Amino acid sequence: MKKWLMLLLAVMVAVVLAACTTSGSSDSGEQNDGGEEASGGEKVLKLNNGSEPTSLDPPIGFDSYSWNVLNNLMEGMTRLDESHEPAAATAEKWDVSEDGKVYTFHIREDANWSNGDPVTAGDFEFAWKRLVDPEVASPAAFLGYFIEGAEAYNNGEGSKDDVMVEAVDEKTLEVTLTAPTGYFLHVISNPAFFPINEEVQSENEEWFAEADSFVGNGPFQLAKWTHDSELVMEKNDEYWDADTVKLDKVEWAMVNDTNTEYQMYESGDLDTSDIPSEMSEELIDSENVVIEEQAGTHFYRFNVNEEPFTNEKIRKAFAMAVNQEEIVEYVTKNKEEPAYGFVSYGFTDPSGEDFRDKNGDLVEYDPEQAKQLLEEGMEEEGYEELPKVTLTYNTSDVNKSIAETVQSMYKENLDVDITLENTEWNVFLQDQKDLKHQLSRSSFLADYADPINFLESFTTDSSMNRTGWSNEEYDELIQQAKSEADEEQRFEYMYEAEKILFEEMPIFPIHFYNQVVLQKDEVENIVRHPVGYLELKWADKN
Amino acid sequence: MTKYIIKRFLIMIGTVLIIATLTFFLMHAIPGSPFNEERNSNEVVQANLEAHYHLNEPLFIQYLIYLKSIATLDFGPSIKHPTQTVNDLLGRGFPISFELGIVTILVAVISGIILGVLAALKHNGIIDYLAMTIAVLGISIPNFVLATLLIQKLAVDWDIFPAATWSSPLHMVLPTLALATGPMAIIARLTRSSMLEVLTQDYIKTARAKGLMPYKIIIKHALKNALMPVVTILGTLLAGILTGTFVIEKIFAIPGMGRYFIESINQRDYPVIMGTTVFYSFFLVFMLFLVDIAYGLLDPRIKMHKKEGE
């Protein structure tokens, strides 16, 4: 009988424990319900940022985690519009000098900070000089190098006063560039160029660290920021174009697991979600999927200093033996565009033609020609047998399946056995920079929307080169494109440069990136820019 | 006793210092840098960043700077989250991991012991088999599988609990269940086997012969001694669970400190690696120390001061 007493005790403990949790739960349940009722008339968009923003200090937070938030809390001189082109924002209008080097921005009268202060030219001068201040150590500082004197200040040779950004008066900013830069208005739409309220900064150097002290000038203002957990933005009534903004509130979760994100989307806690990779086949064709372009390329790098890729024909053989379309169709299954050039779609030249269409397919899948090129190349080098080839990728499921497919394509099309090797991300990057790989997986995401940003990667001294490849003519063309005022001529240089890149083939492309998201029916007009940040100014939820 | 505690404390400090030093040099021996990016990164920009975080100094100087940071318990700003210091990150994450951990441990220990005792008392009976089936399942199902399953069933399909994030007691239920099942199973098995052993001891027979009430025999005489192995593993278990778990916190989007252990290494965020390692090792040796003290309380045969006296 006493044994049963023991059991009874155990059951009681269990019941009490259960009661504790349920009583706690019903409390919070009521709170939740109450909250929803109160917000019945409000338009609240629920998004996931994936992680805590790195920093909301504009020149420091140089990644999409920071940009998604920052781009909606602040605004630069220009803002990318719905068609991803720079449009007047804090600047109402601007004048460009004859030689294309001097920009004079006129800030609109009603541009205000969220604390009511007017946005001044001085705020921009302060922010842009701060961007290239070596002490601030901004990872985005190189974007400021377009401005005369900025590079010298950043590398410690020049002084702050020589950076040619000047507030002529309260509302007029004059900037002198090192060269006519047709895409300068694109570049300054990047969050790194957002203004900073100088007065706020001088009172509190860490104004961007908490919601209470954050002062922005964008469509939304920061209402609440629970670090690592949640961030809430509310419509900013001080914003000059507040009438356009439809949402009352945006709640950002910071869920770093795609499966969880998807489950939260399913249970109604989120309005958009990425697709978990193992479910892409099932979900990619559903009607709630939104697919947007992203300016970037998934590609493979040869190391032209390592045999057998010292030989151009062998490089071409390896490039032409890969069937991009098959990879996109059967391996990544994410509706990407297969890539036959390096510059992605979405950049129109002055004649209105898309860069990619105009320059055409610069590498084609052709197993027969690949086989022949391989033979010719081996003969040129005097190889009886092809030196061992190792393909290296950073550890990830997708990279692995692409690499395995490439491996089998080489076996089938070239009758070459290659070895696969994977390393941890950071080790991989270090080895790639030190040219320790033979053939390696790579990716490029554009910092600003111009083909030059893609192409400048492969100049001899670019830290993005990582192939050992160097071509004087190519370097020259990039240099010319960077200083050319005539847009038509500038595009000619870039077309020519890309052709040279593929004639010598130090790299070969796999696919262009895209952004695939699931989105609830009632959500509309979220703009996802190809350069990687999210725009909620026009977003609505019904 | 005091002398013993002081001695143990000094050993603890020494252990932490050795761990910290090893970690420092190992961490710098891994190839890579916190500023390695796939994207184009200008050399001047890199140099400015390195100077900003003293990474351009000789390793030995960096080591001294780091020792100073341990001594002052100020690890400086995180490299990857530059507007926050390591102390901020730990100060914010640890209480959350701790809260989840304490509830988990309570659930695991209480239900584990109950299961174990029941199984031992009903040795080879239905309850025993049932309890041990639960225990084997608990040990063999990885917690991340259980977590995903719980979210899918209890949150998405049946809508009883919220799927993820951390904002109310209700949000604690699923992660607690996912985390507690494994330790509960281990504790249940340990309790059962040592209970079985203790129950055959002479003093239990004596107690029974004296006519003591069975529940008194079990709780006061048997269980107290059977708990020794449980206490042993509790030290490591506590340190592990209270400082957060990477996978569960990631799946449930819990803003604890578990993620920093993994992310800081992937990102080569040196100050955060050092901060988490020192914190964790200190916490671990402290827990082991508490366990040793608990031995003395549970088992009178272990006398701290006697050891000292010899």
Each residue's pLDDT tens digit, A329-359:
999 888 899 999 999 998 989 999 999 999 9
| Residue A124 contacts residue A165 (beta carbons within 8 Å) | yes
| Residue A391 contacts residue A403 (beta carbons within 8 Å) | yes
Q: Is the pLDDT at A8 greater than 70, yes or no?
A: no
- B 42-61 residues with CB below 8 A of A? 42-49, 51-52
Q: Which has more pLDDT, B32 or A48?
A: A48
Q: How far apart are CA A319 and CA A508, in angstroms?
A: 6
B17 in contact with chain A, both atoms CB, cutoff 8 A: no
Q: What pLDDT shows up at residue B304?
A: 56
Q: What is the mean pLDDT of residues A349-373?
A: 93
Work out the number of other CB atoms within 10 angstroms of the CB of residue B137: 12
Q: Is the pLDDT at A432 greater than 80, yes or no?
A: yes
A230 in contact with chain B, both atoms CB, cutoff 8 A: yes
Phi, psi of A485 (to 5 degrees): -85, -30
The nearest alpha carbon in chain A to B85 belongs to: A209
A10 in contact with chain B, both atoms CB, cutoff 8 A: yes
Question: Which residues in chain A are closer than 8 Å to B159, comparing Cβ atoms?
Answer: 267
Q: What is the mean pLDDT of residues A213-227?
A: 94
Q: Is the pLDDT at A436 greater than 50, yes or no?
A: yes
Q: Is the pLDDT at A173 greater than 60, yes or no?
A: yes
Q: B8 to chain A nearest CA, in Å?
A: 37
For residue A473, give the amino acid letter.
Answer: E
Tell me whether residues B40 and A209 touch, CB distance under 8 A: no
- B 220-249 residues with CB below 8 A of A? none
Q: Which one, of A260, A379, A359, A401, lies nearest residue A311 by Cα?
A: A379
A330 in contact with chain B, both atoms CB, cutoff 8 A: no
Provide the strand spans (E) within A161-319.
165-169, 172-176, 220-226, 230-235, 249-253, 272-273, 289-302
| Structure tokens that stand for B228 in this block | 């020794």
ipTM over 0.90: no
Per the prediction, chain A carries an average pLDDT of: 89
A464 in contact with chain B, both atoms CB, cutoff 8 A: yes
Q: Is the pLDDT at A472 greater than 90, yes or no?
A: yes
Tell me whether residues B42 and A430 touch, CB distance under 8 A: no
For residue A310, give the amino acid letter.
Answer: T
Tell me whether residues B155 and A263 touch, CB distance under 8 A: yes
Q: Which one, of B57, B17, B69, lies nearest residue B275 by Cα?
A: B69
Q: What is the mean pLDDT of residues A83-106?
A: 93
Q: What pLDDT shows up at residue A148?
A: 94
Question: Which residues in chain B are closer than 8 Å to A151, comparing Cβ atoms?
Answer: 44
Q: What pLDDT shows up at residue B131?
A: 83
In this complex, the residue of A3, A256, A442 whose CB is nearest that of residue B250 is A256
Give the burial string for A83-109 (b: 16+ CB within 10 Å, else e).
ebebebbbbbebebeeebbbbbbbbbe
| Residue B12 contacts residue B289 (beta carbons within 8 Å) | yes
Q: Is the pLDDT at A298 greater than 50, yes or no?
A: yes
| Residue A409 contacts residue A322 (beta carbons within 8 Å) | yes
In this complex, the residue of A5, A137, A457 whose CB is nearest that of residue B52 is A137
B95 in contact with chain A, both atoms CB, cutoff 8 A: no
Q: What pLDDT shows up at residue A5?
A: 46
Give the burial string for B177-204 (b: 16+ CB within 10 Å, else e).
bbbbbbbbbbbbbbbbebbbebbeeeeb
- Residue A190 DSSP label: S
pLDDT bucket at A26, cuts 50 / 70 / 90? very low
- B 245-274 residues with CB below 8 A of A? 250-253, 255, 259, 266-268
Work out the number of other CB atoms within 10 angstroms of the CB of residue A19: 10
The nearest alpha carbon in chain B to A263 belongs to: B156
Who's near A107: CB < 8 A, 6+ residues apart?
A77, A90, A91, A92, A119, A120, A121, A124, A171, A172, A173
Q: What pLDDT shows up at residue B28?
A: 87
Q: What pLDDT shows up at residue A27?
A: 38
Q: A60 to chain B nearest CA, in Å?
A: 8
Tell me whether residues A154 and B45 touch, CB distance under 8 A: yes
* Domain residue ranges of chain B, discontinuous segments joined by +: 1-310
Q: What is the mean pLDDT of residues A169-181?
A: 93
The pLDDT profile of chain B, 310 residues, written as one tens digit per residue, is 678 788 888 888 898 889 989 999 998 888 888 888 777 777 788 888 888 888 888 888 888 888 888 888 888 888 888 888 888 888 888 888 888 888 998 999 999 988 888 888 888 888 888 888 888 888 888 888 888 888 888 887 887 888 777 877 888 888 888 888 888 898 888 888 888 888 888 888 888 888 877 777 777 777 877 888 888 888 778 877 877 688 888 888 888 888 888 888 888 888 899 888 888 888 888 888 888 887 777 777 766 554 444 3
Phi, psi of A366 (to 5 degrees): -150, 85
pLDDT bucket at A363, cuts 50 / 70 / 90? very high
Q: Which CATH number does the domain B1-310 belong to among 1.20.950.20, 2.60.40.1250, 2.60.40.10, 1.10.3720.10?
A: 1.10.3720.10
B169 in contact with chain A, both atoms CB, cutoff 8 A: yes
Give the least confident one: A162-176, A484-498, B59-73, B236-250: B236-250
Question: Which residues in chain B are closer than 8 Å to A256, comparing Cβ atoms?
Answer: 250, 253, 259
B36 in contact with chain A, both atoms CB, cutoff 8 A: yes
> pLDDT tens-digit profile of A299-312?
999 999 988 999 99
Tell me whether residues A135 and B52 touch, CB distance under 8 A: yes
Q: Is the pLDDT at A39 greater than 70, yes or no?
A: no
